[in-house]
Amino acid sequence: MKKNIDGSQSKVMKATAQAPANIAFVKYWGKADDALTLPRNSSISMNLDSLHTTTTVEFDAALTEDEITLGFFGEPDTVVSGSKRDRVSKVLDQVRARAKSSLRARVLSRNNFPAEAGIASSASAFAALTTAAISAFGLQLSETELSIQTRLAGSGSAARSIPDGFVVWEKGHDSASSFAHSIAGHTHWALYDIVLVVATGSKAVSSLEGHHLAATSPFYEARLRELPDRLHKIETAIRNHDLQSLGEESEKDMISFHTTAMTSQPPIFYWNGASVDVMAEIRALRGQGIPAYYTLDAGPNVHVLCEGENVAKVQTYFEKHPLVKHVFVAKAGPGVRLISEHLF
């Protein structure tokens, strides 16, 4: 119990969780159910070991409203209000409903990567927030239940940051059957993602909006038809450490996803001229015998998939590149973990 200034006592429950960002090889694009964040397609991704969010949630009876502080690497912690605070409070409300509690919370969430780096932070942020809030209440959830609870936070890809390593999010047919699970742990394969940041700043169209527009593309249904076969091929490639097959299928998926975005009404252009130039150079590197493949999320930055001695080669090549502002090197990593749990 915490002692207040007036001598009364408050119940304080606190926990800290750390969750990784992840990169999808088959992208989640489009929802079957908005309120439940049920996707139209299953997706598959890898957690990134060096890019993560660490979040502490402290429920405190002395608080009358949620206090949310966000900190990006190299920037001061900032108390947020408006829509940013509301989005976090909504997640806390879902956890409060589960815990049958009305306690307000103090939240401190820090990313170890810069805000302006243009790396999607919603997956790591919502996975860490949900896990810390669940743990602060002392609720015992299985990994499946935690991934479902995280999916309900609204950023579906966050559900994939819960399990270890290489992860499939099954689209399912209802809330209970739409969850993420590991198909191979992070030690299974030292696969690297070298993130080439070609543009900083937030994207013009959020993925939240993009999911709503997906079905307006005439190519969307064709994309969905391709996916069962691609998911199977990528899962097999991961099991067999088969970079060529993983890379070729990931590139196809990325092109299909961006084609869908560019042909929706209104169209969304996530990549830019620098992205296209960098992709051409990666194909040229491949022509010189360096097996490296690319994928792009809902943004212009290029993720290069490679392994072994080629990691340093690709990193060195792009660190000197005039179109590339930052290079981050990440490899397959674990899922969310609880750093501390304090129940007073």
Residues lying near ligand PMV in the complex (CB under 6 A) are found at: 24, 27-28, 43, 120, 122, 155-157, 207-208, 297-298
CB-nearer residue toward ligand PMV: 61 or 167: 167
CB-CB contact of 296 with 275 (8 Å): yes
* DSSP state letter for 193: E
> What string of DSSP letters covers 326-342?
EEEEEEB----EEEEEE
CB-nearer residue toward ligand PMV: 247 or 299: 299
CB-nearer residue toward ligand PMV: 12 or 127: 127
How far apart are CB 270 and ligand PMV at their closest, in Å? 8
How far apart are CB 25 and ligand PMV at their closest, in Å? 9
CB-nearer residue toward ligand PMV: 156 or 163: 156
CB-CB contact of 241 with 308 (8 Å): no
Give 155: exposed, middle or buried? Use CB within 10 Å, 0-12, 13-18, 19+. buried
How far apart are CB 207 and ligand PMV at their closest, in Å? 4
How far apart are CB 104 and ligand PMV at their closest, in Å? 26
Residues 6+ positions from 309 with CB-CB distance below 8 Å: none
Given phi > 0 = left and psi -120 to 50 = alpha, else beta, which region is 289? left
CB-nearer residue toward ligand PMV: 43 or 301: 43
Listed in sequence order, the DSSP H helices in the chain are 82-99, 122-136, 143-151, 207-213, 220-239, 243-262, 273-287, 310-319
Cα–Cα distance between 215 and 223 in angstroms, integer?
A: 10
CB-nearer residue toward ligand PMV: 120 or 152: 120
How far apart are CB 208 and ligand PMV at their closest, in Å? 6
CB-nearer residue toward ligand PMV: 37 or 310: 37
How far apart are CB 100 and ligand PMV at their closest, in Å? 28
In this structure, what token pair is assigned to residue 28? 């989640």
How far apart are CB 206 and ligand PMV at their closest, in Å? 8
CB-nearer residue toward ligand PMV: 136 or 159: 159
How far apart are CB 301 and ligand PMV at their closest, in Å? 12
Q: What would you report as the CA-atom Rg of the chain, rounded to the nearest whole angstrom?
A: 20
Nearest residue to ligand PMV, by Cβ distance, number only: 157
Cα–Cα distance between 152 and 81 in angstroms, integer?
A: 22
List strands edge to edge, sheet with 191-197: 293-295, 302-307, 191-197, 326-331
- Residue of 137, 156, 118 lying closest to 303 (CA atoms): 118
CB-CB contact of 318 with 325 (8 Å): no
